[in-house]
A and B are shown apart, each in its own frame.
Chain A
Amino acid sequence: MSAGARPRVSVVVFPGSNCDHDAVHAVEATIGADARPVWHAGTELGRPDLVILPGGFSYGDYLRCGALARFSPIMDAVRAFAAKGGPVLGICNGFQVLCEAGLLPGALLLNSGQRFRCEDVFVRVETIRTPFTAELTKGDVLRLPIAHGDGNWRIEAEAWDDVTTHDQVVFRYCDAAGGRGTGANPNGSLDDVAGVCNRERNVVGLMPHPERASETMLGNTDGARLFRSFANGLLLGRTG
């Protein structure tokens, strides 16, 4: 992208996505993006700088959350975009889809308390080596809303070693002061994981909704920091 140009953002819309408009609006409002929804049945992403897989209930969460969206035609294009290093952000259901597609490690189970949780939580930034956290500081605490029934991130022991060895945990649930082990984890996820990235660091998924906390009018702008981090990185030609 040349300096001054608007970042191009494609938001994939699956049948059952319901945060697609929010995501389009959030990147328009926070980083002046040229954002467009892209229907899942297509095969072209439209040369974006960023692809967002939004929240919702793709395919009615049938079989497993995100399991059927993985087979949507557009996912081949998402895979190819990610393989070339293109930044991909999966939010909530989008995170579940990326895990099912094998683009992110782990899987998301039913919340340990068996309840759908809809509330604000705190997450701590665990790595700044992603396009969305590059301008944050490790240890920064963000307040972000969650709304999910299946956010209990799990992974096999060996793969977990890989994830920690390669610094792939991006966010962890915490209390307002950034502390852990205080019941701050809303879903029982392994080691309080709220978001992870792939080994190459260009694909990030998280359960909380930054797009719902990106404008002053909404009372919280913590989520906008992720989008700004990406957009400034794009301007500077920063990768990861």
Chain B
Amino acid sequence: MKVQVTVVPKSGVLDPQGKAIAGALTRLGFPGVGDVRAGKVFRVEIEAKTAAEASALAGQMAEKLLCNPVIEEYEAEVVE
């Protein structure tokens, strides 16, 4: 199975990259660009019997390594 963990800077935490990207999108002429959060995506192949098990493992990976809860938040999902 394949799980996907998406990690982005928490709302309220300054994201210099996201801010610069928002500025660039606005300069390109995209109207109404608001807050942009630049983060990371991890796709992990994993042996699991059920999607629920895979999803739970992905959450643990995020909690223990992929995401630093002081500054980041994550979403974990099973993609395959």
User: Contact between B20 and A109 (Cβ–Cβ < 8 Å)?
Assistant: no
B20 partner residues in chain A, CB cutoff 8 A: 114
User: Contact between B14 and A152 (Cβ–Cβ < 8 Å)?
Assistant: yes
Which applies to chain A's interface (DSSP): helix, strand, loop or mixed? loop
The 0/1 profile, CB within 8 Å of A marked 1, for residues 18-42 of chain B is 0010000000000000000000000
Query: Count of chain B residues with Cβ under 8 Å from any Cβ of A?
Result: 11
A63 partner residues in chain B, CB cutoff 8 A: 65-66
Q: Which residue of B lies closest to A68 (CB)?
A: B65
Q: Which residue of B lies closest to A99 (CB)?
A: B70
Q: Of residues 129 to 155 in A, which have CB atoms within 8 Å of B's CB atoms?
A: 152, 154-155
| Chain A CB within 8 A of B68 CB | yes
User: Contact between B14 and A188 (Cβ–Cβ < 8 Å)?
Assistant: yes
User: Contact between A107 and B71 (Cβ–Cβ < 8 Å)?
Assistant: yes
A188 partner residues in chain B, CB cutoff 8 A: 14, 16
Which applies to chain B's interface (DSSP): helix, strand, loop or mixed? mixed
| Chain A CB within 8 A of B9 CB | yes
User: Contact between B16 and A64 (Cβ–Cβ < 8 Å)?
Assistant: no
| Chain B CB within 8 A of A85 CB | no
Given contacts A113-B16, A114-B16, contact A106 B70 (CB under 8 A): yes
Of B9, B65, B66, the contact of A109 (CB 8 Å cutoff): B9
Closest-CB distance, A148 to chain B (whole angstroms) = 14
The 0/1 profile, CB within 8 Å of A marked 1, for residues 37-80 of chain B is 00000000000000000000000000001101011000000000
User: Contact between A154 and B71 (Cβ–Cβ < 8 Å)?
Assistant: yes
User: Contact between B17 and A110 (Cβ–Cβ < 8 Å)?
Assistant: yes
